[in-house]
Amino acid sequence: MDPHSTGDLFSDEALQQPARREQIGEQSYVLRGYALPWLERLLPELRAVLAQSPFRQMVTPGGFTMSAALSSCGDLGWTTDRQGYRYSPIDPERHQPWPALPNVLRELATTAAAAAGFEGFAPDACLINRYVPGARMSLHQDKNERDFSAPVVSLSLGLPAVFLFGGHQRSDKTQKTSLFHGDVVVWGGVDRLRFHGVLPIKHGVHPRMGPQRINLTFRKAG
Ligand code: MD3
Ligand code: FE
């Protein structure tokens, strides 16, 4: 940016601190505020994806309706129903392919992965979770992907969340990390199969995103 121009002085980008990298596991990092400079480009693309494939609540194999609503973009979308969890190239509500993964999302995921030590990340799936206040995600492992050598990259938007990071057994003790609007987290390597979850979202209204938290997770699923 031209240092003498004043036009962008008060944009998110000009106000942003240099992204801080916090290590939360052997091969896991929170990149604080990493996505803030990308959001003006990213949010319109996200809105367009959600206009095509809107949020919906899905049912687990056990018969429980998930409190988070979800959608997807990219070649594969994560779905659940009474038959089980799986990745599918087809949106089961629309019987059509999921919307394409927008370039800006792919670039964000790839550069964030590289900043955490995972070069060459090529996501083929982006799961979009929406949490309204009270919604949560109970402790689980992500193991529907074919190749656990690729990391998972997640982007948090809107209301803050308390993320729980456990061990390799459900009963292992968990550490808590708050995730805020614009934070990006990268999980990989030895941390890829650790249990994790999200505590119920507290009531609030985010100035940019309204009364919700949206989380995008990028994976190499196929
Ligand atoms: C840790 N989503 O969609 S983000 C999920 O905030 C999910 O919506 C949460 O867990 C959310 O499966 C947490 C991230 C996340 C994703 C994959 C992981 C954390 C992870 C894989 C291994 C360890
Ligand atoms: Fe998960």
> Can you read off the two tokens belonging to residue 178?
């708050």
Question: Ligand 1: does its nearest atom lie under 6 Å from the Cβ of 142?
Answer: yes
Question: Ligand 1: does its nearest atom lie under 6 Å from the Cβ of 130?
Answer: no
Confidence of residue 147 (pLDDT cuts 50, 70, 90): confident
Any domain includes 74:
yes
One-letter amino acid at 14 equals A
Question: Ligand 1: does its nearest atom lie under 6 Å from the Cβ of 127?
Answer: yes
- Ligand 1: residue whose CA is nearest its atom 17: 152
Any domain includes 58:
yes
Which of 118, 154, 176, 219 is the best mutation target for the ligand 1 pocket, counting ligand atoms within 8 Å of the beta carbon and taking the most? 154
Model confidence over 95-116: pLDDT tens digits? 999 999 999 999 999 999 999 9
Looking at residue 80, its pLDDT comes to: 94
- The mean of the pLDDT values for the chain is 93
Any domain includes 10:
no
Any domain includes 165:
yes
Q: How far is CA 24 from CA 111, 143, 187, 220, in A?
A: 19, 20, 9, 22
CATH of residue 36's domain is 2.60.120.590
For the CA of 135, the nearest ligand: 1
d(CA 80, CA 99): 18
Report, in this order, helix, strand and coil percent for the chain, each rounded to 5.
15, 35, 50
pLDDT surpasses 60 at 3: no
Domain count of the fold of the chain: 1
Torsion sign, CA atoms 92, 101, 36, 51: negative
Confidence of residue 18 (pLDDT cuts 50, 70, 90): low
Any domain includes 6:
no
- Ligand 1: residue whose CA is nearest its atom 14: 154
Which of 186, 196, 212 is the best mutation target for the ligand 1 pocket, counting ligand atoms within 8 Å of the beta carbon and taking the most? 196
Question: Ligand 1: does its nearest atom lie under 6 Å from the Cβ of 153?
Answer: no
| Residue 209 structural domain | 17-219
Confidence of residue 122 (pLDDT cuts 50, 70, 90): very high
Any domain includes 12:
no
Say what the pTM is: 0.92
Model confidence over 78-100: pLDDT tens digits? 999 999 999 999 999 999 999 99
Distance from residue 2's CA to the centre of ligand 1 (Å): 38
> What kind and span of H or E run contains 51?
helix 39-52
Looking at residue 2, its pLDDT comes to: 42
Any domain includes 11:
no
Model confidence over 153-164: pLDDT tens digits? 999 999 999 999
